[in-house]
Amino acid sequence: MAEHVFDLEKLNQEFEKKKPEEIIAWALREFSGKIAMSSSFGPESAVLLHMVSRANPATPVLFLETGYHFPETLEYKERLTRLFGLKNIVELTADPKKKAEVVARYQGIPYEKDPDLCCQINKVEPIDRALKDYDAWMSGIRRHQTDFRKSIRIVEEYSTKGGGAPLWAPEDSKGGHGGPPLHKISPLANFTSRELWWYLKEHNIPNHPLSEKGYLSVGCWPCTRPVQDGDDERSGRWAGKAKTECGIHTFMEVKDKEETKEDKKREGPGIRYSSGI
């Protein structure tokens, strides 16, 4: 397995001035054969899907099939798959035994009784298992979406791949890092909602069927509501609860800048920086 070690601070400074398409091209080249993207096929998903499809339509697209999607989302998924010529949609599902136990424990409505556990079973654990097969993961998250996402960097390094347990695991199961890190790339980090809208319009890409009904961000149907005028675009997710993230972007620990610098000192001149844009 190839080792990918970068000067992340320098790389991110460079990428702040690059177009998403340039960042995608770099990522697909740098992590060739070991990179996937994730997509919810929601109202904002089409932009990254379109960009990636133009670079390599065979890129694996990880889709979390929770069993709770709106029919409109599944229809949109099929439509975009055909329209963009996507060749590798990978559907991820929960462990059936574990899901059945949770559904039974909460009388068929785990999303109401314990939404964090529902997300963990149906989203976090499946994507955690899938990402073990990759060295890099592309996501469409943006800084304008939530307070948590304001601080994301375009390229981040996670230190749990291959051995260390994710943050959702019981405390006594957390081991040391046992393999190469996972890099996460967010090419649209700087994109605003207006820029997404213009991109869809410019490329004549259809909107999600629920967009016109006020759904600006769409997840599972039990936990998604239309957005009210003046509210932020993700306010319809888990409305009335403090919860703002399903967990797939928060369950792994990001290496901070100082840790990356210390790693560089320890590893010495073997560190390489690859921009290749």
Decide: 200 and 47 in contact? Cβ < 8 Å.
Answer: yes
State the residue for tokens 């329209």.
Answer: 83
Backbone angles phi, psi at 194, to 5 degrees: -65, -40
Distance of CA 142 to the CA centre of its chain: 10
**Alpha helix stretches (DSSP H) within 16-70:** 20-30, 46-55
Distance of CA 116 to the CA centre of its chain: 17
Residue 189 in tokens: 């980090």
What's the CA gap between 3 and 196, in Å, rounded?
Answer: 34
What's the CA gap between 257 and 242, in Å, rounded?
Answer: 29
Q: Give the N- to C-terminal CA distance of the chain in Å, as an integer.
A: 23
Decide: 37 and 61 in contact? Cβ < 8 Å.
Answer: yes
Q: 42: which DSSP letter?
A: S
The DSSP bridge pattern shows strands 136-138 and 182-185 to be parallel
Q: 221: which DSSP letter?
A: G
Residue 124 in tokens: 């976090």
User: Exposed (0-12), middle (13-18) or buried (19+): which is 161, by Cβ within 10 Å?
Assistant: buried
Active site residue 119: no
- Please give the positions annotated as active site: 246
